[in-house]
């Protein structure tokens, strides 16, 4: 009998100014290209993923308890958004991989990964069986159920995903790259929606002032 599980994302939300910029970019791309979603502040929240994985349903309370403990020790810190990139049909607004961001990602990875109990989804197994996927990505999925783990971590905000993946580079040219900074005040536990979107907030954990 397979274990019932829930896919969860641990994310950071940007400031209002960065959120509005991401939403504006997402809308602009969708006016000229077919996209799979458009960011807003209700259904498709702009966010930076720290760790995305699947947990047995009866372990979600443990996940929340771990997050509450971790955030007691993590002070608020600044994130710098600085670049637009395209990957697999996505347009990303990339964050600088600062020591604070990296340390938080690694802490979450090491403390939460055991609570997964090794769960992988059918989608994960498809990636593992795909000869086109790099070995490092496969190792990350096998070990952490997350392609962008550890050295592969690429902190970013997804602006949208194009229906035709090859159009992402062209769509990116519509957008003017700008450097924006914001202070992270809380960590959030959310669902994992289609295309990795963030639609439902399960819990919030404030970082230390």
Helical spans, DSSP H, in 33-167 = 60-71, 99-112, 122-129, 135-144
Q: Which domains does the chain have, with CATH numbers?
A: 5-206 (3.90.1140.10)
pLDDT by residue (tens digit) across 55-76?
999 999 999 999 999 999 999 9
Q: What is the pTM of this model?
A: 0.95
Distance (Å, whole) CA 179 – CA 66: 33
pLDDT by residue (tens digit) across 149-208?
999 999 999 999 999 999 999 999 999 999 999 999 999 999 999 999 999 999 999 999
pLDDT by residue (tens digit) across 80-94?
999 999 998 999 999
- The pLDDT of residue 201 is 97
**pLDDT band, very low/low/confident/very high, at 2 (cuts 50, 70, 90):** low
Pairs from 73-76 (Cβ < 8 Å, separation ≥ 24): 73/208, 74/104, 74/107, 74/187, 74/207, 74/208, 75/207, 75/208, 75/209, 76/183, 76/184, 76/185, 76/207, 76/208, 76/209
Please tell me whether residue 81 adopts helix, strand or coil conformation: strand
Residues 94-121 have a mean pLDDT of: 97
**pLDDT band, very low/low/confident/very high, at 3 (cuts 50, 70, 90):** confident
Distance (Å, whole) CA 7 – CA 202: 12
Q: Is the pLDDT of residue 1 over 50?
A: no
**Main-chain dihedrals φ then ψ at residue 14, nearest 5 degrees:** -80, 175
Mean pLDDT score of the chain: 96
Helical spans, DSSP H, in the chain = 16-32, 60-71, 99-112, 122-129, 135-144, 168-172
Extract the tokens encoding 137.
């990505």
- The pLDDT of residue 61 is 96
- The pLDDT of residue 73 is 96
Alpha-carbon 31 to chain mean position: 24
pLDDT by residue (tens digit) across 20-33?
999 999 999 999 99
- The pLDDT of residue 109 is 97
């Amino acid at each position: 009998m397979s274990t019932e599980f829930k896919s969860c994302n641990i994310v950071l939300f940007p400031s209002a100014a960065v959120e509005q910029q991401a939403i504006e970019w997402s809308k602009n791309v969708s006016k000229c290209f077919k996209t799979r979603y458009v960011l807003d502040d209700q259904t498709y929240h702009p966010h930076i993923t720290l760790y995305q994985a699947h947990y047995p349903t009866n372990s979600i309370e443990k996940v929340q308890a771990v997050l509450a403990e971790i955030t007691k020790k993590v002070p608020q810190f600044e994130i710098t958004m600085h670049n637009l990139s395209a990957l697999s049909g996505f347009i990303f607004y990339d964050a600088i991989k600062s020591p604070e961001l990296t340390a938080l990602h690694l802490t979450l990875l090491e403390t939460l990964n055991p609570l997964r109990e090794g769960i992988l989804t059918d989608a994960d197994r498809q990636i593992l069986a795909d000869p086109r996927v790099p070995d490092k990505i496969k190792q990350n999925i096998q070990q952490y159920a997350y392609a962008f783990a550890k050295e592969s971590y690429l902190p970013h905000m997804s602006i949208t995903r194009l229906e035709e993946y090859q159009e992402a580079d062209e769509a990116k040219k519509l957008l003017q790259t700008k450097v924006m900074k914001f202070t992270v005040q809380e960590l959030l536990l959310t669902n994992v929606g289609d295309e990795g979107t963030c639609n439902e907030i399960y819990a919030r954990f404030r970082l230390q002032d």
